[in-house]
């Protein structure tokens, strides 16, 4: 099993926040590629290989009043990731909060 990190972010109207999320993530992480977009249900991103990481994936799914975020390393035998998955999840969590604030301010 590869290294992973996950969290849940509580938001009002999670499906609406999910729909806005690709715009927010594109601003923070333009190299991440959107590989699956199930409208109102889930997003999945592919993270490219770089000097710090073998790459990986990020999954975001809608729950009741929340969004669940999971970051996984691509290399299946990787046990330690030196906090890379936690940093990826924090970036997505910040994007979720930003999207939620923008939706709240526009009504």
Q: Is residue 97 pLDDT above 90, yes or no?
A: yes
Distance CA 104, CA 92 (A): 18
Distance CA 83, CA 71 (A): 11
Please tell me the CATH code under which domain 4-106 is placed.
Answer: 3.30.530.20
Q: Is residue 8 pLDDT above 70, yes or no?
A: yes
Quote the pLDDT of residue 89: 96
Instruction: Report the 10 Å Cβ neighbour count for 97.
Output: 14
Quote the pLDDT of residue 52: 73
Nearest to 90 by CA among 7, 11, 12: 7
Quote the pLDDT of residue 78: 65
Mind listing the pLDDT tens digit for each residue in 13-35? 999 999 999 999 999 899 999 99
**Per-domain residue ranges of the chain:** 4-106
Q: Which residues contact 107 (CB under 8 A, 6 or more apart)?
A: none
Planar angle of CA 28, 30, 36, nearest 5 degrees = 105
């Amino acid at each position: 099993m590869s290294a992973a990190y996950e969290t849940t972010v509580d938001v009002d109207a999670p499906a609406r926040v999910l729909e806005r999320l690709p715009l927010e993530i594109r601003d923070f992480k333009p190299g991440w590629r959107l590989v699956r977009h199930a409208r109102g249900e889930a997003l999945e991103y592919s993270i490219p290989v770089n000097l710090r990481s073998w790459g990986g994936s990020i999954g975001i799914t809608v729950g009741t009043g929340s969004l669940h975020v999971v970051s996984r390393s691509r290399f299946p035998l990787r046990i330690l990731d030196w906090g890379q998955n936690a940093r990826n999840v924090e970036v997505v969590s910040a994007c979720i909060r930003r999207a939620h604030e923008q939706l709240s301010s526009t009504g």
